[in-house]
Amino acid sequence: MSPSNEGSQPPAADMGRVLRRNMLTADPVEAGLAPTREFPRVYGVLMDWPVGGGDIATVASLADGNASLYTTASFGIIGGFAYEAVRENAIEFVRIAERHFNEAVPAETFDYPPSDRVRFYLLTFEGVRFLDVEAALLQDDHALTELFHQAQRVLTELRRIEQSGESDEGEGGTDPDWRGAPGYVNCMLTAMSEGLSRVIELNADLGVPILRDLAGDDAGLRQWIDEQNFDYEELSAKDVIALLKASASIGGLPFLSHNGELATIDIRKDGRRAARVFDLTIGPFGKTARIELAPEDDPRVIALQKEADERDGGRNS
């Protein structure tokens, strides 16, 4: 049993594909992860689940409770660790995956599954392993049904982060959770891509930067930021720094500074895909963070943009 030929799969291009690839190829030691009594072999798990229309959803969880949703389309959710229900279900997802270590086999490539199959990638301290099953069998009492159902629970909790219109503000309101750290990080990175600032610094002992004040004379950008309805007095710079650190899989000894990066693909107003790479520096004990947008001539940005252009048939060039 082995994944299908990598040559039939298009190159990783959009944000979801890039983040999925980064998680599958990450070094757990560099990320500050080590075997524990509860998780001696498996520290994370990804489920690739075809959802129709040629798209695939990837539900990813780590033993620390971090969870994300990546897709082969433009939609995705990161930063789930900020929510207790997500953390609890993510940890249980990894806990169940740990029990399937022996039946999983080493993965030489990280292809997406065919449209009629579901694939689980187990992130282990001995390398990535995988399990593959016909999607139809998961509706019965299959050995992997429990793992599949737990992934669905993680997905359900992640979707609640994105829900709107059911908040205390009534129909049409914005989910209060999305106005917290996850929403702020999303807005900050998007606004930086649109010219807000090339560098933003955070200090856990101070309030978060008021993004509107950094927008200068760009009335459109200021209006978009205002529409996010952030309560800056309630936002915690410490939570924002922790979210950035987790999203970039930055680990290591807490009393040292650590560097990482976030790669994204922005969909511009004209429909073009624009590659972005953000360099992160997290200070000792997560007290400070520096986010810098890499220039367009950075080799990493050029390579990511090339993949995006190939994905779109060259219409960005």
| Final residue before a domain boundary, out of 162, 184, 207 | 162
Residue 279 lies in a domain: yes
Q: Are residue 78 and residue 25 in the same domain, yes or no?
A: yes
Tokens of 14: 């959009």
Q: Are residue 156 and residue 12 in the same domain, yes or no?
A: yes
Contact 119, 47 (CB under 8 A): yes
Rounded Cα distance, 57 and 49, in Å: 5
Residue 169 lies in a domain: no
Number of domains in the chain: 2
Unique residue bearing structure tokens 């980064």: 22
Q: Are residue 106 and residue 184 in the same domain, yes or no?
A: no
User: Residue 98: which of 63, 132, 69 has the closest Cα?
Assistant: 63
φ, ψ at 290 (rounded to 5°): -125, 125
Q: Are residue 12 and residue 122 in the same domain, yes or no?
A: yes
Contact 112, 137 (CB under 8 A): no
Contact 275, 56 (CB under 8 A): no
Q: Are residue 146 and residue 259 in the same domain, yes or no?
A: no
| Final residue before a domain boundary, out of 115, 131, 162 | 162
Q: Are residue 140 and residue 275 in the same domain, yes or no?
A: no
DSSP state of 294: P
Domain, as residue range, for 67: 6-162
Contact 275, 301 (CB under 8 A): yes
Q: In the prediction, which pLDDT does 242 show?
A: 82
Unique residue bearing structure tokens 């939609």: 75
Q: In the prediction, which pLDDT does 227 show?
A: 78
Q: Are residue 142 and residue 182 in the same domain, yes or no?
A: no
Rounded Cα distance, 143 and 120, in Å: 13
Q: Are residue 187 and residue 147 in the same domain, yes or no?
A: no
Three-state SS for 231? Answer: coil
Q: In the prediction, which pLDDT does 304 show?
A: 79
CB atoms within 10 A of CB 23: 22
Residue 240 lies in a domain: yes
Q: In the prediction, which pLDDT does 110 show?
A: 94
Q: Are residue 93 and residue 39 in the same domain, yes or no?
A: yes
Rounded Cα distance, 16 and 74, in Å: 7
* Cα-based angle 90, 156, 9 (whole degrees, multiple of 5): 80
Q: Are residue 205 and residue 156 in the same domain, yes or no?
A: no
Residue 269 lies in a domain: yes
Residue 279 φ/ψ region, left for φ over 0, alpha for ψ in the -120 to 50 degree band, beta for the rest: beta
Q: In the prediction, which pLDDT does 105 show?
A: 96
Report the half-sphere exposure of 280 (CA within 13 A, side-chain side).
Answer: 25
- In the sheet with 55-62, reading across from the earlier edge strand, the strands are 67-71, 55-62, 42-52, 117-124, 127-134, 105-106
Tokens of 61: 């969880």
> Which residues partner with 122 through β-bridges?
45, 129
| Final residue before a domain boundary, out of 162, 193, 218 | 162
Residues 6+ apart with CB under 8 A from 245: 258, 260, 280, 282, 286, 289
Three-state SS for 218? Answer: coil
Amino acid 71 reads: T
Q: In the prediction, which pLDDT does 104 show?
A: 96
What are the average pLDDT values for consecutive 10-residue runs of the chain, which has 317 residues? 36 66 86 87 94 83 88 71 81 96 95 93 96 85 89 82 40 44 80 87 93 84 82 86 74 71 64 78 90 91 77 47
Residue 93 lies in a domain: yes
Q: In the prediction, which pLDDT does 266 show?
A: 63
φ, ψ at 193 (rounded to 5°): -65, -30
Rounded Cα distance, 173 and 120, in Å: 36
Q: Are residue 158 and residue 195 in the same domain, yes or no?
A: no
Q: Are residue 180 and residue 271 in the same domain, yes or no?
A: yes
Rounded Cα distance, 256 and 142, in Å: 46
